[in-house]
């Protein structure tokens, strides 16, 4: 089984356009360090999910690929939040372990392209959690799952403005707000997703979302059981949705309250391109149910 | 900086105090730095600890709370690196109006690096519930994964033999002729000093040097600090992103990057508010007409930040005094 490692950030200088295009293969050995998690991590299962993504979808189907991969990546890559906060781990995953996937998802649509301008950007290999090709999917799944239910993750990723905006904000650490946002934005445009994210973030400076919608805490026992489970069978979930850690779902009453609040905020928020009636938004993908190839 | 609220808020201060820290239900002493508002969970003797329980008391002016409608107090702990948020609604503390107490339970597997802890007092204002009417100062909870909060006035400095740096820092070997290497890790910038550079450790280690040694010591330190601040600033400004809708630059989300920008921008644009200074710096960085403008402003700001002019003046005075003493010796 492949052993997980971290990669020192000084390896970043080797992420040349040639590496990002896949035409150069710098040696990263000097920058790799073993990473002892103290529990099994089945990187072969992760590899199987990445390979299947690249088989099922074309490079043009990036959003559909994200919707499919995020729950399965989270299911296969069993990490605690503390471990997943480690930037060096994601750097190693993006640069060494899964650079082919990063290029496939974020590189030029023509695989053979040698245009450095079209190469996947450095931050897709080695960037913050909202940019990194794999970290963004894993963290979206972690923050948008409702207990073991990954369905809201798929719904949210179908609208790429949710990972680009709401996901990056501190309010996304409050589960009832996240679940309410997914419910309110279902079927809405990307511009509405952006407008709502801003409105919630702004409202949170004068309203305390934690007292409006008190949440259930995560269950550390469930988390421990999740990362200690050595039996992952990724192929079993290629055509059906896997389930995640057995944390309690976000408090239902809190989600209901937050839905009301978010509906009000969205109704009042300035939405680009919206006058008195909703305009169709050509730039954005409509939210929908999970897409299979 | 006081936030502006479009409704009446408390005039008096909301104060958060940490009264006890318990690890795995056992109280531990010496973990609270009141002056810096830090709860330090780094370097706990029990390596495999699982939970930290932080007991807090929050107080607000009793007379104002007496008049408030449905006041409540909540402590929120938020961690950027691990995207974790925990809130604890605090209970009114006995019969004292304007005083609340409670515990914050931090399960170790959910936290990394550092988290911010803040208490907020909410009340119903003009019929609207859950309005923030007062916030405490922000405390920092330090976890053990990253020992130092990056560039909070000081950067982590590590002495390494560049000719034999060990498996995890092989890249330093390529710089074995140099005396310093700045590693701008987004998580934690670090300055490596070369132990195998003859005399450097002796020169920099002892702050109580005198005369010419002192001048060289100060100059070397200032030069390193000056270059470090400039390099960190350039890395930080590269991390600034633009809000797609407003077109305005936004502060980087990584804390040290923001700290570096705030520290230097105030020197580079002394007459501007921080956001405006950031906007100006961002524009200067992207201008094609005169790309050197930003560096022109940065150079003196970094020098002053590193106290370079003052140390140079001191050094010149020391050299002048030495020369004078030499001349007197020769004339005698």
Identify whether B321 is part of a domain: no
The token pair that represents A230 in the structure block: 């050595």
Residue A289 confidence (pLDDT): 35
Instruction: Determine the average pLDDT of the residues in A170-175.
Output: 94
Residues 95-124 of A with CB under 8 A from B: none
Residue B210 confidence (pLDDT): 60
* Residues B104 and B229 grouped into a single domain: no
Query: How does pLDDT run across A206-227, given as a tens digit for each residue?
Result: 999 999 999 999 999 999 999 9
Residues 6+ apart with CB under 8 A from B198: none
Kindly report the nearest CA distance between residue A128 and chain B, in angstroms: 9
Residue B59's beta-bridge partner residues? B15, B99
Whether the CB-CB separation of B186 and A87 falls below 8 Å is answered with yes
Can you say how many angstroms the Cα of residue A129 is from the centroid of all Cα atoms in its chain?
8
Domain count, chain B: 2
Kindly report the nearest CA distance between residue B24 and chain A, in angstroms: 14
Inter-chain residue contact A208 with B122, CB threshold 8 Å: yes
Give me the residues of chain B with pLDDT under 70, please.
Answer: 1-4, 145-154, 206-212, 289-291, 332
Inter-chain residue contact B85 with A170, CB threshold 8 Å: yes
Kindly report the nearest CA distance between residue A46 and chain B, in angstroms: 21
Residue B332 confidence (pLDDT): 65
Identify whether B130 is part of a domain: yes
**Chain A CA closest to residue B183:** A10
Identify whether B332 is part of a domain: no
Three-class SS of chain B:
CCCCCCCCCCCCCCEEEEEEEEECCEEECCCEECCCCEEECCCCCCCCCCEEEEEEEEECCHHHHHHCEEEEEEEEEEECCCCEEEEEEEEECCCCCCEEEEEEEEEHHHCCCEEEEEEEEEEEECCEEEEEEEECCCEEEECCCCCCCCCCCCCEEEEECCCCCCHHHHHHHHHCCCCEEEECCCCCCEEEEECCCCCHHHHHHCCCCCHHHHHHHHHHHHHHHHHHHHHHHHHHHHCCEECCCCCCEECCCCHHHHHHHHHHHHHHCCCCCHHHHHHHHHHHHHCCCCCCHHHHHHHHHHHHHCCHHHHHHHHHHHHHHHHHHHHHHHHC
Identify whether B299 is part of a domain: yes
- Which of A78-87, A167-176, B197-206, B275-284 has the least mean pLDDT? B197-206
Domain count, chain A: 1
The token pair that represents B97 in the structure block: 């109006």
**Size of chain B, expressed as the number of residues it contains:** 332
Instruction: Determine the average pLDDT of the residues in A287-291.
Output: 35
Identify whether B33 is part of a domain: yes
Residue B55's beta-bridge partner residues? B20, B103
Residue B59: how many other CB atoms lie within 10 Å: 23
Q: CA dihedral in degrees (A260, A263, A264, A270; nearest 10)?
A: 160
- Indicate whether A158 pLDDT > 90: yes
Inter-chain residue contact A220 with B110, CB threshold 8 Å: yes
Question: How far apart are alpha carbons A69 and A51 in whole angstroms?
Answer: 10
Residue A146 confidence (pLDDT): 98
Rg of chain A over CA atoms, in angstroms? 19
Helix axes A175-185, A135-144, angle to 10 degrees: 100
Interstrand relation of B190-194 and B156-160 (parallel, antiparallel or unpaired) = parallel
- Indicate whether A104 pLDDT > 70: yes
Residue A1 confidence (pLDDT): 61
* Residues B192 and B302 grouped into a single domain: yes
Whether the CB-CB separation of B124 and B69 falls below 8 Å is answered with yes
* Residues B131 and B187 grouped into a single domain: no
- Containing A203, the helix (H) or strand (E) segment is helix A190-203
Inter-chain residue contact B183 with A9, CB threshold 8 Å: yes
Kindly report the nearest CA distance between residue A39 and chain B, in angstroms: 13
**Chain A CA closest to residue B108:** A82
Query: How does pLDDT run across A33-71, given as a tens digit for each residue?
Result: 888 888 889 998 999 999 999 999 999 999 999 999 999
Residue A178 confidence (pLDDT): 97
Residues of A in contact with B81 (CB under 8 A): 85
Tokens 């937050």 map to which residue?
A: A258
Residues 6+ apart with CB under 8 A from A276: none
Instruction: Determine the average pLDDT of the residues in A184-212.
Output: 92
User: Model ipTM?
Assistant: 0.88
Identify whether B280 is part of a domain: yes
Identify whether A278 is part of a domain: no
Residue B66 confidence (pLDDT): 93
Domain that holds residue B79: 15-142
Domain that holds residue A102: 5-268
Residues of B in contact with A208 (CB under 8 A): 74, 76, 120, 122, 130, 132
Residue A283 confidence (pLDDT): 40
Residue B190 confidence (pLDDT): 84
Question: How far apart are alpha carbons A53 and A46 in whole angstroms?
Answer: 11
Residue A153 confidence (pLDDT): 97
Identify whether A292 is part of a domain: no
* Residues B137 and B163 grouped into a single domain: no
* Residues B96 and B186 grouped into a single domain: no
Question: How far apart are alpha carbons A58 and A110 in whole angstroms?
Answer: 11
Higher per-residue confidence, A41 vs A73: A73
Identify whether B303 is part of a domain: yes
- Indicate whether A160 pLDDT > 60: yes
What is the b/e burial string over B198-223, where b = at least 16 CB atoms within 10 angstroms of the residue's CB? eebeebbeeeebeeeebbbbbebbbb
- Could you tell me what percent of chain A has a pLDDT over 70? 93
* Residues B104 and B232 grouped into a single domain: no
Which CATH number do you get for residue B136? 2.60.40.10
* Helix/strand/coil percent split, chain A, to 5: 55, 5, 40
| Cβ of residue A128 closer than 8 Å to a chain B Cβ | yes
- Indicate whether A288 pLDDT > 60: no
* Residues B51 and B86 grouped into a single domain: yes
Identify whether B265 is part of a domain: yes
Positive/negative CA dihedral, A134, A136, A137, A138: positive
* Residues B163 and B200 grouped into a single domain: yes
- Which of A8-22, A87-101, B298-312 has the least mean pLDDT? B298-312
Inter-chain residue contact A220 with B112, CB threshold 8 Å: no
């Amino acid at each position: 089984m492949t052993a997980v490692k971290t990669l020192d950030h000084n390896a970043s200088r080797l992420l040349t356009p040639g590496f990002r295009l896949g035409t150069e293969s710098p040696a990263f050995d000097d920058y790799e360090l073993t990473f002892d998690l103290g529990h099994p991590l089945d990187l072969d299962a992760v590899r199987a999910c990445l390979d299947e993504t690249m088989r099922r979808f074309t490079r043009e189907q990036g959003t559909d690929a994200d919707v499919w991969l995020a729950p399965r990546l989270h299911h296969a890559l069993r990490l605690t939040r503390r471990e997943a906060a480690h930037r060096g781990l994601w750097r190693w995953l993006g640069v060494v372990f899964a650079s082919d996937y990063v290029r496939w998802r974020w590189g030029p649509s023509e695989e053979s392209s040698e245009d450095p301008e079209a190469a996947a950007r450095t931050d897709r290999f080695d960037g913050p959690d909202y940019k990194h090709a794999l970290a963004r999917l894993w963290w979206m799944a972690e923050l948008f799952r409702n207990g073991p239910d990954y369905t809201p993750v798929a719904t949210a990723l179908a609208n790429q403005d949710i990972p680009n905006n709401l996901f990056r904000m501190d309010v996304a650490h409050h589960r009832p707000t996240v679940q309410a946002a997914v419910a309110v934005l279902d079927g809405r445009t990307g511009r509405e997703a952006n407008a709502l994210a801003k409105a919630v973030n702004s409202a949170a400076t004068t309203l305390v979302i934690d007292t409006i919608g008190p949440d259930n805490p995560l269950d550390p026992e469930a988390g421990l059981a999740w990362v200690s489970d050595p039996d992952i069978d990724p192929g079993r979930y290629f055509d059906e949705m896997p389930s995640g850690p057995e944390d309690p779902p976000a408090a239902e009453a809190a989600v209901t309250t937050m839905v009301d609040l978010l509906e009000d905020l969205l109704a009042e928020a300035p939405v680009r391109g919206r006058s008195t009636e909703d305009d169709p938004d050509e730039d954005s993908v409509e939210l929908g149910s999970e897409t299979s190839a | 900086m006081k936030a502006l609220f479009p409704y009446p808020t408390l005039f008096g201060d909301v104060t958060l105090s940490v009264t006890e820290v318990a690890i795995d239900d056992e109280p531990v002493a010496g973990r609270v730095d009141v002056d810096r508002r830090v709860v330090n969970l780094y370097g706990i003797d029990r390596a495999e600890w699982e939970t930290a329980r932080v007991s807090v008391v929050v107080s607000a002016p009793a007379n104002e709370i007496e008049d408030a409608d449905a006041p409540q107090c909540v402590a929120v702990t938020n961690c950027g690196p691990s995207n974790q948020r925990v809130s604890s609604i605090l209970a009114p503390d006995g019969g004292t109006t304007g005083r609340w107490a409670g515990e914050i339970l931090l399960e170790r597997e959910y936290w990394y690096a550092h988290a911010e802890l803040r208490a907020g007092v909410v009340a119903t204002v003009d019929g609207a519930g859950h309005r923030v009417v007062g916030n405490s100062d922000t405390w920092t909870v330090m976890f053990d994964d990253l020992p130092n909060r990056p560039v909070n006035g000081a950067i982590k400095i590590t002495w390494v033999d560049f000719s034999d740096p060990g498996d995890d820092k092989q890249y330093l070997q390529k710089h074995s002729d140099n005396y310093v290497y700045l590693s701008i890790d987004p998580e934690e910038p670090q300055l490596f000093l070369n132990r195998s550079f003859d005399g450097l450790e002796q020169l920099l280690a002892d702050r109580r040097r005198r005369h010419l040694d002192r001048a060289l010591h100060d100059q070397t330190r200032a030069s390193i600090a000056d270059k470090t601040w400039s390099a960190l600033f350039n890395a930080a400004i590269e991390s600034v992103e633009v809000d797609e809708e407003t077109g305005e630059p936004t502060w980087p989300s990584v804390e040290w990057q923001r700290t570096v920008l705030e520290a230097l921008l105030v020197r580079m644009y002394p007459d501007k508010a921080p956001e405006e200074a950031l906007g100006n710096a961002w524009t200067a960085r992207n201008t094609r007409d005169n790309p050197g403008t930003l560096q022109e402003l940065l150079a003196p700001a970094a020098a002053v930040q590193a106290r370079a002019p003052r140390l140079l003046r001191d050094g010149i005075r020391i050299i002048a005094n030495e020369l004078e003493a030499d001349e007197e010796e020769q004339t005698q």
